[in-house]
């Protein structure tokens, strides 16, 4: 962890030290550290270099990927873990949401998200949130948080694997590609930054889905109730990702909104793109279609989105940046096409920095 710790301090942050005070975080560091090495060994065609995973002690929702010397580094801010745990704890502690999971009748929470949290997400990592009373619902909440965390980890891994970080450093002189603050980097357009983010989101959505299907839901979710079938797994992945992206509020969306001005695509566009990616994997990858029928797959995705929307309405969460009219779908499609077109343009520049072609696992 030497390289991770040194880098964290160089950007004025505190690296999480494994000192036995929080077994949950210590275990996560071990798990993701091993997973990073495993993915690297299985997939890098370039000579595997050291890879480190660590947490930054923080209340923020943020993550980054960087290369320091010859070491690949993935960092996640510890607030991210707490925020996601609280998000799904709050959702499952309301009996009206996901009523078929566990014994929803014992839940009596009427919790709604305080309005200020939409503007300051770090509040969600420091203030107390309800946790489900029913153990099966608590376990389900923990598994949804796992999916969301794993997605973020794969997103950061993609920034390394697909050469984003190396290319970004070469172009801008910046050493790390962070999820917050990338717009400050010189010599790179926000369109290019959004293109990298699109690539990382699509990669992460695909690999979260594939990881679950290849290992089987029972193995990944350790036989948790309501997570044993492929259909239940698709439902859980879709609702976990939908709810996570709902945290990123981004202004009112109208037909006039320019979706490509910031360093990350707005949440509604990211929802649209990961959704399309998951849908495509059913059609182009037998690791998915061999295990679930199209009807079951479509139903799981559709029901997850509806339940996710219902959950956020019940929780009184700010709905800025959500799609209020189906007419706006063409605005999202147009923006996604522009990003895809731009990806074709920067693809050749990224090529020399890629660590491998296609992931084996
Ligand atoms: Zn990113």
Show pLDDT as tens, one digit a residue, over the chain (361 residues).
799 999 999 999 999 998 888 999 999 999 999 999 999 888 888 888 899 999 999 999 999 999 999 999 999 999 999 999 999 999 999 999 999 999 999 999 999 999 999 889 999 999 999 999 999 999 999 999 999 999 999 999 999 999 999 999 999 999 889 888 888 889 999 999 999 999 999 999 999 999 999 999 999 999 999 999 999 999 999 999 999 999 987 778 888 888 988 899 999 999 999 999 999 999 999 999 999 999 999 999 999 999 999 999 999 998 888 887 778 899 999 999 999 999 999 999 999 999 987 655 4
Phi/psi of residue 68, nearest 5 degrees: -120, 115
Distance 233 CA to ligand 1 centre (A): 24
Distance 156 CA to ligand 1 centre (A): 6
Distance 357 CA to ligand 1 centre (A): 19
Distance 308 CA to ligand 1 centre (A): 23
Distance 89 CA to ligand 1 centre (A): 25
Distance 155 CA to ligand 1 centre (A): 6
Distance 160 CA to ligand 1 centre (A): 10
Output the 3-class SS for the chain: CHHHHHHHHHCCCCECCCCCCCHHHHHHHHHHHHHHHHHHHHHCCCCCCCEEEEEECCCCCCEEEEEECCEEEEEEEHHHHHHHHHHHHHHHCCCCCCCCCCCHHHCCCCCCCCHHHHCCCCHHHHCCCCCCCCHHHHHHHHHHHHHHHHHHHHHHHHHHHCCHHHHHHHHHCCCEEECCCHHHCCCCCHHHHHHHHHHHHHHHHHHHHHHHHHHCHHHHCCCCCCCCCHHHHHHHHHHHHHHHHHCCCCCCCCCCCCCCCCCCCCHHHHHHHHHHHHHHHHHHCHHHHCCCCHHHHHHHHHHHHHHHHHHHHHCCCCCCCCCCCHHHHHHHHHHHHHHHHHHHHHHHHHHHHCCCCCCCC
Distances from the Cα of 332 to the Cα of 127, 260, 266, 327, 341, angstroms: 34, 10, 10, 10, 14
Distance 295 CA to ligand 1 centre (A): 32
Half-sphere exposure of 94 (CA within 13 A, CB side): 21
Distance 2 CA to ligand 1 centre (A): 23
Distance 316 CA to ligand 1 centre (A): 28
Distance 292 CA to ligand 1 centre (A): 30
Distance 284 CA to ligand 1 centre (A): 25
Give pairs for 185-194: CB < 8 Å, separation 24+: 190/260, 190/261, 190/262, 190/263, 191/260, 191/338, 191/339, 191/342, 192/342, 192/346, 193/263, 193/264, 194/260, 194/262, 194/263, 194/264, 194/265, 194/339
Distance 158 CA to ligand 1 centre (A): 8
Distance 136 CA to ligand 1 centre (A): 33
For residue 15, how many other CB atoms are within 10 A of its CB?
17
* Cα torsion 277, 346, 158, 150: sign: negative
Distance 164 CA to ligand 1 centre (A): 9
Distance 296 CA to ligand 1 centre (A): 31
Phi/psi of residue 72, nearest 5 degrees: -80, 135
The pTM of the full predicted model, rounded to 2 decimals, is 0.97
Distance 336 CA to ligand 1 centre (A): 16
Residue 72 to residue 106: CA distance in whole angstroms: 46
Distance 161 CA to ligand 1 centre (A): 12
Distance 192 CA to ligand 1 centre (A): 12
Distance 293 CA to ligand 1 centre (A): 32
Can you give the pLDDT at residue 359? 58
């Amino acid at each position: 962890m030497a390289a991770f710790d040194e880098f964290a301090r160089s950007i004025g942050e505190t690296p999480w030290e494994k000192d036995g005070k929080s077994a949950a975080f210590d275990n996560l560091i071990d798990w993701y550290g091993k997973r990073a090495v495993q993915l690297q060994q299985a997939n890098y065609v370039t000579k595997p270099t050291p890879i480190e995973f660590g947490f930054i002690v923080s209340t923020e929702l943020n993550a980054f990927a960087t290369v320091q010397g010859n070491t690949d580094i993935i960092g996640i801010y510890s607030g991210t873990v707490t925020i996601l745990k609280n998000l799904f704890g709050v959702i499952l502690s309301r009996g009206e949401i996901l009523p078929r999971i566990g014994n929803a009748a014992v839940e009596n929470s009427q919790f709604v998200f305080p309005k200020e949290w939409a503007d300051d997400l770090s509040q969600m990592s420091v203030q107390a949130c309800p946790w489900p009373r029913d153990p099966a619902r608590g376990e389900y909440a923990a598994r949804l948080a796992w999916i969301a965390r794993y997605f973020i980890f794969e997103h950061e891994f993609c920034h390394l694997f697909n050469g984003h970080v190396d290319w970004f450093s070469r172009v801008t002189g910046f050493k790390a590609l962070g999820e917050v603050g990338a717009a400050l980097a010189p010599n790179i357009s926000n369109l290019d930054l959004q293109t990298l983010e699109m690539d990382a989101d699509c990669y992460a959505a695909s690999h979260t889905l594939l990881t679950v299907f290849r290992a089987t839901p029972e193995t990944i979710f350790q036989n948790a109730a309501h997570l044993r079938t492929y259909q239940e797994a698709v439902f859980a992945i879709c609702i976990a990702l939908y709810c996570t992206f709902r945290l990123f509020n981004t202004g009112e969306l109208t037909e006039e909104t320019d979706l490509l001005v910031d360093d990350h695509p707005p949440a509604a566009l990211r929802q649209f793109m990961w959704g399309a990616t998951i849908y495509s994997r059913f059609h182009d990858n037998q690791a998915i279609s061999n295990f679930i029928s199209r009807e079951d797959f479509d139903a799981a995705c559709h029901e997850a989105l509806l339940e996710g929307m219902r959950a956020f309405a019940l929780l009184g969460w700010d709905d800025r940046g959500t799609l209020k009219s189906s007419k706006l779908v063409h605005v999202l499609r147009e923006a996604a096409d522009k990003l895809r077109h731009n990806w074709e343009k920067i693809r050749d520049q990224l090529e020399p920095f890629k660590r491998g072609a296609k992931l084996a696992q």
